């Protein structure tokens, strides 16, 4: 360990590792401090009993200039996510698709048991409002996601079967 480093880097997530790389390229010494049992932060995969388990949720926006400067995107062999979700309910998976980006799959979503027909029509309306940037202007920033979903008219079944698992997976918090 370096006894008198030029810098201390707190956290060995993507930003901390990029910082370490940058300092190293400029001949500076540093120490990386990490509280977890490994590096990677939210962008981390553990190998357990032959399975690869991703921690947390991270979407890499490859259009960001800093992402392009720091990473070899070709070497990463990135693939886009399907615009939707698979929801486990009633003993099997059901695909809920983004109706704006996958219209035909969005129509098939109408026949899944994830929420009512009215909930699914509310989802289409919500997708349009989010895309147009209108929803942010219409809601109180201090409202919880749960209160907003209820104010938009979503049923408890839709909230529990779709929003809680989906948003809970993104933010690692099922409370909404």
- pLDDT digits 0-9 by tens, 20-74: 999 999 999 999 999 998 888 877 888 999 998 887 667 778 888 988 988 899 9
pLDDT band at 172 (very low <50, low <70, confident <90, very high): confident
Report the distance separating Cα 150 and Cα 159, nearest Å.
8
Q: What is the pLDDT of residue 173?
A: 77
Rounded Cα distance, 121 and 153, in Å? 11
| pLDDT more than 90, % of the chain | 44
> Closest Cα partner for 34 from 19, 53, 23?
19
Q: Where are the alpha helices (DSSP H) in 59-113?
A: 65-70, 73-76, 103-109
Report whether 37 contacts 28 (CB < 8 A): no
pLDDT at residue 56, as a whole number: 67
């Amino acid at each position: 360990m370096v006894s008198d480093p030029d810098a201390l880097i707190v956290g060995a997530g993507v930003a901390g590792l990029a910082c370490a790389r940058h300092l190293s390229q400029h001949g500076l010494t540093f120490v990386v401090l990490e509280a977890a049992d490994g590096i990677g932060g939210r962008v981390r995969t553990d190998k357990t009993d032959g399975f690869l388990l991703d921690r947390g949720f991270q979407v890499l926006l490859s259009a960001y200039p800093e992402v392009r400067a720091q990473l070899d995107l070709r070497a990463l062999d990135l693939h886009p996510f399907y615009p939707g979700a698979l929801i486990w309910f009633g003993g099997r998976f059901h695909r809920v698709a983004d109706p704006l980006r996958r219209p035909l799959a969005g129509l098939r979503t109408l026949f899944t048991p994830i929420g009512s027909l009215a909930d699914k029509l509310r989802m289409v309306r919500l997708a349009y409002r989010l895309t147009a940037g209108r929803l942010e202007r219409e809601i109180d920033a201090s409202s919880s996601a749960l209160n907003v979903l209820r104010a938009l008219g979503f049923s408890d079944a839709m909230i529990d079967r779709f929003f809680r698992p989906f948003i809970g997976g993104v933010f690692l918090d099922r409370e909404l």
